[in-house]
Amino acid sequence: MTDKVLRLDAFIPYRLSFTAALLSDAIAESYEALFGISIAEWRVIAWVAERGSITQQQICALSRMDKVTVSRAAIALTGRGVLRRLPNAEDRRSHLLALTEEGERLHAAIAPKALELESGVFSHFSAEEVEAFVGMLRRIDAVVLGER
């Protein structure tokens, strides 16, 4: 019987983490240089824009970011006038985040750049490869979450 040897560079969980960090770092540099925001702040803005209004807890669940990271991003963005806090009729202990007009302008400026950055990376692959890759990522998510 041949024992399989762990080689970190070929270990798929490591490869996913490494590649995600590499891509995230490249994007973070661009967002910081162009817009003065962090990746966490951009993700909060993007989820708020997509949902209209959303709680910090919902952002945590959707993004897999931790509570402290989301909280710090929300505080910074609120302080900069990008987000506003609204009462949450469903849970008075929490509040909803919504974009201000400034937040909507910022999102409108960043979203095309985000798509451009994505395109710059994935233009090196066929549409079929990208579709298969995204499909596999979604299947991995489902397996890990026990949804097979």
Q: What is the CATH number of the domain that holds 86?
A: 1.10.10.10
Determine what percent of the chain is predicted with pLDDT higher than 90.
83
Contact assessment for residue 39 and residue 31, using Cβ atoms and an 8 Å cutoff: yes
Does 128 fall in a domain? no
Structural domain includes residue 104: yes
How many angstroms separate the CA atoms of 37 and 42, rounded? 7
> What is the reported pLDDT for 83?
98
E strand map for 7-133:
83-87, 95-99
Rounded CA separation 95/100 (Å):
15
Q: For residue 106, what are the domain limits?
A: 8-120
pLDDT of residue 79: 97
When pLDDT is cut at 50, 70 and 90, the band that residue 93 belongs to is: confident
Write out the two tokens for 89: 């009729």
What pLDDT was estimated at residue 1?
56
DSSP 49: H
Sorting pLDDT into bands at 50, 70 and 90, what band is 2? low
Contact 97, 56 (CB under 8 A): yes
* pLDDT at residue 18, as a whole number: 95
d(CA 44, CA 116): 19
Average pLDDT of 91-110?
94
Instruction: Report CA torsion sign: 37, 63, 55, 99.
Output: positive
The domain total for the chain is 1
Mean pLDDT value across residues 42-56: 96
pLDDT of residue 64: 92
Q: pTM of the prediction?
A: 0.85
